[in-house]
Chains A and B, each alone.
Chain A
Amino acid sequence: MQKTNTPLIKFTFRFLAVILALLFTSLVLLIAKTNPLEAYKNILQGSFGSWRSVANTLVVWVPLMLATLGLLFTYATGLWNIGIEGQIILGAIFTTWALRILQNTSINPTTAVILAILAGILGGALWASLTGLLRIYGGVNEIFGGLGLNFVATALTIWLIFSPWKRPGVASMSGTEPFKEAYWLSQLEGFRLSIWAVAIAIFGLILVYFVLKGTFFGLKLKAIGKNGRAAKLLGIPTSRYFMSAFLICGGFAGLAGAIQIVAVYHRLIPLISSGYGYLGMMVAMLVNFQPIWAAFVALFFAALNIGSIQLQIALKVDSTLSGVLQGALLLFFLIMEGVRTKFFESKKARQNG
């Protein structure tokens, strides 16, 4: 019975999941009276059709990757950090806050940007600690604590944009006053992409890979995730590891938010987190704790996001189609995983009986 989990069988079921997700999305497109093939062609062109679109895909990839990396820690511990969306937002708020102060001092811009990014990491970690405290000392499930705090974070952003940080003249949904170019993370000539941002994401990826695979700390996190009670009985202080996982995840989320400010938008806007936190949760679920795969799946999801913008322009259908396709991929992935285990289990049972 060793044959049940061969890579070939696993691959076949995953491939089937992709086919089913595409079929489902095609059905949705047909309901919206759109030609599915035309739609997929536009998504592909929009995401990888030119150097500019590849660059745009990478612009989305960086924060999505960072969010996913953080989530690998909370997932390993068995925590559902839905609050990551708010943690990204607070990272962006803290970065904006720091830059607003530092731009009026004599500190040189490069140092200011580095300090602002660190402030963002701190902001994300602090916001995550609230969810952690609520969970550990208040018994409030992290799903509800985190979700509630997401809405609070969004409201905080809007309040900041409309009241204390409003643009001279009129406050509007377009965001705060943009920072001077000296305070941007330097971008490639003619593109929106910053090589530094990509470098940060890749460095994070390598770091997380080694921490989760090769350290005692990573091992303990996984032990708690697999069996919290047993870990506690063995003397691992679970609360402390819960809190560490929240803080690390919040830090990565805050970094993603900081990148959104210093490398992408250069100002605080209402939807600064762009849903990358929730998207990151989907990526982390799809790759089942494996950082290397996370990089590829995140790239694919980022491509879908960018491609669907092209879809909206070319075919006049809403760009939320990318969300439908991403959701369908994960849903059918989970279902096919279940079918695979069920199928081989019943076969085993028959042979035994």
Chain B
Amino acid sequence: MNPKKRGKMDNNLLSSLAGVIALAVPIIFASIGETLTERSGVINLSVNGTLMLTAMTGFVVAVETSSLLLAFFISALVGSFVALIIAFSSITLKQNQVAVGFVLTLMCRDLSYFLGNPYMGKPGPRVAALPIPVLKDIPIIGPLLFNQDILVYISFVLIALAYWWVFKTRPGLMLQGIGERPAAAFTRGANVNRMRYFYTMIGGALVGLAGPVYSLSAKAGWAGPNSGLDGIGWIALAITIFGGWNPLRAAAGAYLFAFLQWLGIFLQPQLPNIPSQVLQVAPFPLMILALLLVNVGNAEWVDRTLAGLPESARRVIAKILRALRTTPPASLGIPFENE
């Protein structure tokens, strides 16, 4: 193969991989937002609906005002407001989080279809590419990481910031505390419920940002039910679990998912007999498989089966299962009462 042709192939591969990194951005926003919320002990099950509602809201605001900044700001507010409803009804009113989150996820989706109907298929603005001078010229890393739009750079910062916050700071330690043992955190002076409100709304704002990342960048435009966004929020929720409530591992999950999404698009021409709708759902069985891998280590029958295996095999399998296994914050979904 002559060197020139090889160079071109590498470029194609690089730009595809750069596309994967861009495609992962909304999932990173949503799953890190949800990670923060769930770390505090609250489940926000409305992610799928919130993401669609803010994708629509962000697009409409951008079309009407031509201000991308305002579009993202309003979307974050909407996401935060939906989260506030969950916080209020579950923390203050002691209603079931799953029930409220489920209703909101359905209602927000229908709201996005209903209110976004007049804007379907309209042309709209999108976030411009922002190559970083000098850095973008570094071989391989440059085109991969530094020839993107600003949202991609923000996602890098967000991953690092969230990890640092949760594991390396005092408030982060407190956050872990209110999700694991709220009573203990309370005796050490934490206002558990106020902090849960705070992290639910911060998490909701991040989920809210994920919407316009789609409609103004990754999958620009609003096409109602044909936007292909329905289901992605559920994937983000699953990635939160797969990521073991750790921002770094969640980000890895998001990149893996984006890679598989891209693979689906890439394989499409190779498999003309399979309708495109079928390849689009490929991530869902993989989602189940991923959850199975991280959870199956907790099952009783696995221990029993392993006990019957020869020592060497048993040790290897047990080690793999332990590495994969994730455990939720101990008080996830359980209301806290300071008696």
Q: Does A324 touch B at the CB level, under 8 Å?
A: yes
Interface residues on A, range: 35 or more
Task: Give the shortest distance, in Å, between A259 (CB) and chain B (any CB).
Answer: 23
Instruction: Report A147-160 CB contacts with B as 1/0, cut-off 8 Å.
Output: 11101101100110
A152 proximity list for chain B (CB < 8 A): 281, 284-285
Select which of A154, A278, A285, A328 is within 8 A of B99 by beta carbon. A285
Q: Does B227 touch A at the CB level, under 8 Å?
A: no
The closest CB in chain A to the CB of B301 belongs to: A137
Task: Give the shortest distance, in Å, between B298 (CB) and chain A (any CB).
Answer: 5
Contact A147 B234 (CB under 8 A): yes
Task: Give the shortest distance, in Å, between B265 (CB) and chain A (any CB).
Answer: 16
Q: Does A49 touch B at the CB level, under 8 Å?
A: no
Interface-facing stretch out of A63-71, A91-99, A223-231, A313-321: A313-321
Contact B95 A337 (CB under 8 A): yes
B238 proximity list for chain A (CB < 8 A): 144, 148
A138 proximity list for chain B (CB < 8 A): 291-292, 295-296, 299
Given contacts A144-B237, A330-B103, contact A338 B275 (CB under 8 A): no
The closest CB in chain A to the CB of B238 belongs to: A144
Contact B291 A144 (CB under 8 A): yes
Contact A281 B117 (CB under 8 A): no
In the assembly, what is the distance between CA of A330 and CA of B117, in Å? 24
Q: Does B183 touch A at the CB level, under 8 Å?
A: no
Interface-facing stretch out of B21-29, B104-112, B146-154, B188-196: B104-112
Q: Does A134 touch B at the CB level, under 8 Å?
A: yes
Q: Does B184 touch A at the CB level, under 8 Å?
A: no
Name B83-98 residues within 8 Å CB distance of A: 85, 88-89, 92-96, 98
Task: Give the shortest distance, in Å, between B74 (CB) and chain A (any CB).
Answer: 14
In the assembly, what is the distance between CA of A35 and CA of B291, in Å? 47
Task: Give the shortest distance, in Å, between A84 (CB) and chain B (any CB).
Answer: 12
Q: Does B158 touch A at the CB level, under 8 Å?
A: no
Given contacts A317-B114, A321-B114, A342-B94, contact A327 B296 (CB under 8 A): no
Q: Does B273 touch A at the CB level, under 8 Å?
A: yes
Name B258-289 residues within 8 Å CB distance of A: 273-275, 277-278, 280-281, 284-285, 287-288
Given contacts A144-B234, A149-B288, contact A32 B102 (CB under 8 A): no
Q: Does B115 touch A at the CB level, under 8 Å?
A: yes
Select which of A159, A278, A338 is within 8 A of B89 by beta carbon. A338
Q: Does B100 touch A at the CB level, under 8 Å?
A: yes
Select which of A144, A148, A158, A278 is within 8 A of B106 by beta carbon. A278
Q: Does A335 touch B at the CB level, under 8 Å?
A: yes
In the assembly, what is the distance between CA of A342 and CA of B281, in Å? 43
B113 proximity list for chain A (CB < 8 A): 318, 320, 323
Q: Does B231 touch A at the CB level, under 8 Å?
A: yes
A282 proximity list for chain B (CB < 8 A): 103, 106
In the assembly, what is the distance between CA of A339 and CA of B88, in Å? 11
Contact A28 B93 (CB under 8 A): no
Residue from A31, A148, A282 whose CB has the most chain B CB atoms within 10 Å: A148
Contact B298 A320 (CB under 8 A): no
Task: Give the shortest distance, in Å, between B282 (CB) and chain A (any CB).
Answer: 8
Given contacts A143-B98, A330-B103, contact A159 B275 (CB under 8 A): yes
Given contacts A144-B288, A147-B234, contact A328 B92 (CB under 8 A): no
In the assembly, what is the distance between CA of A141 and CA of B85, in Å? 24
Q: Does A254 touch B at the CB level, under 8 Å?
A: no
A187 proximity list for chain B (CB < 8 A): none
Question: Interface size of B by Cβ–Cβ distance < 8 Å?
Answer: 48
A40 proximity list for chain B (CB < 8 A): none
In the assembly, what is the distance between CA of A322 and CA of B117, in Å? 14
A159 proximity list for chain B (CB < 8 A): 274-275, 278
Q: Does A165 touch B at the CB level, under 8 Å?
A: no
Q: Does A195 touch B at the CB level, under 8 Å?
A: no
In the assembly, what is the distance between CA of A337 and CA of B288, in Å? 34
Select which of B93, B285, B299 is within 8 A of A339 by beta carbon. B93
Task: Give the shortest distance, in Å, between A345 (CB) and chain B (any CB).
Answer: 9
Q: Does A353 touch B at the CB level, under 8 Å?
A: no
A151 proximity list for chain B (CB < 8 A): 231, 281, 284
Select which of A137, A141, A155, A327 is within 8 A of B277 by beta carbon. A155
Select which of A80, A162, A324, A335 is within 8 A of B107 by beta carbon. A324
A281 proximity list for chain B (CB < 8 A): 102
Contact B111 A28 (CB under 8 A): yes
Residue from B118, B280, B281, B301 whose CB has the most chain A CB atoms within 10 Å: B281
Q: Does A7 touch B at the CB level, under 8 Å?
A: no
Task: Give the shortest distance, in Å, between B268 (CB) and chain A (any CB).
Answer: 14
A148 proximity list for chain B (CB < 8 A): 234, 238, 284-285, 287-288
Instruction: Report B69-92 CB contacts with A as 1/0, cut-off 8 Å.
Output: 000000000000000010011001
Contact B98 A338 (CB under 8 A): no
Select which of A140, A147, A155 is within 8 A of B295 by beta carbon. A140
Q: Does A202 touch B at the CB level, under 8 Å?
A: no
Contact A327 B110 (CB under 8 A): yes
Instruction: Report A317-353 CB contacts with B as 1/0, cut-off 8 Å.
Output: 1101101100110110011011101100000000000
Show 17 A/B contacts (Cβ-Cβ < 8 Å), sorted by A.
Answer: A134-B292, A138-B291, A138-B299, A139-B292, A144-B234, A148-B238, A158-B277, A159-B278, A278-B106, A282-B103, A282-B106, A321-B114, A324-B107, A324-B111, A331-B100, A335-B93, A338-B89
5 A-B pairs closest in CB distance: A338-B93, A327-B107, A323-B110, A139-B295, A151-B284
- Residues on A facing B (Cβ under 8 Å): 28, 31-32, 80, 82, 134, 137-141, 143-145, 147-149, 151-152, 154-155, 158-159, 162-163, 278, 281-282, 285, 317-318, 320-321, 323-324, 327-328, 330-331, 334-335, 337-339, 341-342
